[in-house]
Structure 1
């Protein structure tokens, strides 16, 4: 059900308050609501604009394990017609003759994952949320403050009443006001590169192949979308990226073609161009007093492996499992013990992936000849050793490590 903040005049009671209606927050709401918990989502923007969303070029690589989660919570059926399977992944290092090729058939019939435009992901989650009678969506709504009280939290909405919940979840983005109000700091740093993101149309069929091309400035990723389209994630030094973004369409397309060597034929950018500075950040802890952090509020990593939102879905799967299991036992879903378990579960995985992506970026942006030769030898070696190759393919699918039930495709 959807409510405006003005409709809430007195304290509303709910099991879990999720602050932020992005992809991670909505996924958690659907997972918890489907398991029977009373959930309220407070989102600052007006989500009614998502009824007929326009193409904006934003795309997410949904890893296989994340697809399992979306399917298990009943949301994938609203997205699958817009999804492009990732069948192969090819990694090349500049003009080096060696390359690394991952073929999904080495692991069975399922793809590595799917490419889906963010508008279809969000609309699918909203449709899945509308199927439930246990989730309340309040928008547009600003949280004016939140107090921890015995047995829960009292959140105040600007211009209306409040919400009382046993647990609050910060899904409110990289600059999370809830995280900052809880006094939870960040560690991390900025990179020397800017990411340019756009969608391209091309002459030849991409055949479901995702290309990760490492150029001296950073990764140049060509990710397959439905039709003869791909999402382009293009890394350049800040000044170069600024100059590229200022080019007219013809010159911008020529720069793309120069880096692609024509393997997809004629190419042109369609839709808007986005840019953002690369950075890595990890919260000092993923939980506070009656508070859990998920998604960008908890972490952000280099996009070199395309795992950013997938890391957020791993948060969602872990927290949902802990909360649902506690609720079914009649336990406090916001207890310190539960939140400590969540923090331990998610921090190790997050810190590991943040360190790996940071190291890969450092390795592949180093154009010193001995380093370049060593990494090319490494690519060739991995390509020839099947057990090692399968290990990296499992990582690309997100199926390595201690997986919560939703990431295995099991219902809560």
Structure 2
């Protein structure tokens, strides 16, 4: 057939999709992949305050990837370093258990170069930074707003049909189109998972006292209550509750909502009040049975969706992207077809274990802590206290939280996608 339109077509231009485009287009042995991103949403709308009030926790290893791709500089002044993480257990109005788990960035400074454990960034700022980097990259074309209406997998290429009738051809299609991925569904890839009968409530809270860059994960019987530091005297509230209770909380006026939040916050940040809109969404676990098909690779939520209690959803997607970039770059270097199943299977083997292990861990933690059963409460409080006292175990958990364990792709080691130091 005639020359392909691109090396890779990415379905989905959200946080993971745009990161994937930049990773692939940043250069493979001096020759970047040509990438086309197709997204159903208007890029101008997704950076508005009303569209998405969530924030993303960018772990230490993921931030190194941002630095390697030139994204970190675009976020200067709009990111909040995470210096400490405090994990506690407790009850509403009764305060936290005396047992706790404390992670301090300074404790692993010899491994991280005195960097914070991570950074916290508003999603709207992330989208602006990613969009700006994509716009500045000649190897990437963004087509949006535009839906993908079909994908045909042919010998030697993939044909992606757009809603306006255009057909794009490439060696590989990457599905980054979310948990309900139409591309995954059309390819016949099944998923496994379940609902938690919980909802996540997200909003921004302003408070009197500074947070000092400390992220708090407070486990309550209804689910984790996370207070995550933002720039200024603001924190992102990620509040998990049973579905019926969450709906009642969402129905409260601002004063009632603030009172319920303060009952859980306590007074360590002084007076707290919500700022801006609130969002809520059902929580579930979802894992794809396969991450690849011939000429198709799944990344991000299209491949896996986990409980948000550890704040690792986007980081998991970034590890997908970095691993896929390594696999495709290496394949191109030795003259292999990047859409061949033999090439893509290495990506699947690399990523499926990590994703499944993290999904099982977050699922187990949610089930262990989201209850008020006396013996379990005692056991988990003792567990937190023991881990906090045992330095090697605590530092292992810290490295896990920083994303600095396991087989790290080049970008997460601070090297460019061609293997050279960034």
TM normalised by structure 2 equals 0.93
Give the distance between the partners of 2:48 and 2:238, measured in 1 at CA.
Answer: 22
Give the distance between the partners of 1:267 and 1:281, measured in 2 at CA.
Answer: 34
> Which residue does 1:3 correspond to in 2?
none
Q: Give how far 1:57 is off.
A: 2.0
The question of whether the paired residues in 1 share the 8 Å contact of 2:220 and 2:371 is answered with no
Q: Give how far 1:53 is off.
A: 3.6
- Verify: 1:139 aligned to 2:134, yes or no: no
Give the distance between the partners of 2:9 and 2:204, measured in 1 at CA.
Answer: 35
> Which residue does 2:280 correspond to in 1?
275
1:2-401 → structure 2 map (5 Å cutoff): 13-35=5-27, 36-49=32-45, 53-54=48-49, 56-94=52-90, 95-108=96-109, 109-401=114-406
The question of whether the paired residues in 1 share the 8 Å contact of 2:13 and 2:37 is answered with yes
Alignment size in residue pairs: 402
Q: Give how far 1:76 is off.
A: 1.3
The question of whether the paired residues in 2 share the 8 Å contact of 1:43 and 1:141 is answered with yes
Q: Give how far 1:368 is off.
A: 1.4
Deviations 1:13-47 (A, max 9, x none): 11000000000000010111111111100111121
Q: For structure 1, which runs of at least 5 residues remain unmatched after alignment?
A: 1-9
Give the distance between the partners of 1:311 and 1:218, measured in 2 at CA.
Answer: 22
Q: For structure 2, which runs of at least 5 residues remain unmatched after alignment?
A: 91-95, 418-422
Deviations 1:185-232 (A, max 9, x none): 000100021111111000000000000001111100000000000000
Give the distance between the partners of 2:392 and 2:154, measured in 1 at CA.
Answer: 53
Give the distance between the partners of 2:130 and 2:64, measured in 1 at CA.
Answer: 14
Give the distance between the partners of 2:87 and 2:132, measured in 1 at CA.
Answer: 36
Instruction: Detail structure 1 runs of 4+ shifted over 3 Å in the superposition.
Output: 52-56
Question: CA-atom RMSD, angstroms?
Answer: 1.3
Secondary structure of the structure 2 residue equivalent to 1:320: helix
The question of whether the paired residues in 1 share the 8 Å contact of 2:22 and 2:69 is answered with yes
Give the distance between the partners of 2:359 and 2:411, measured in 1 at CA.
Answer: 23
TM normalised by structure 1 equals 0.95
The question of whether the paired residues in 2 share the 8 Å contact of 1:91 and 1:212 is answered with yes
The question of whether the paired residues in 2 share the 8 Å contact of 1:11 and 1:163 is answered with no
Give the distance between the partners of 2:49 and 2:199, measured in 1 at CA.
Answer: 25
Q: Give how far 1:71 is off.
A: 1.1
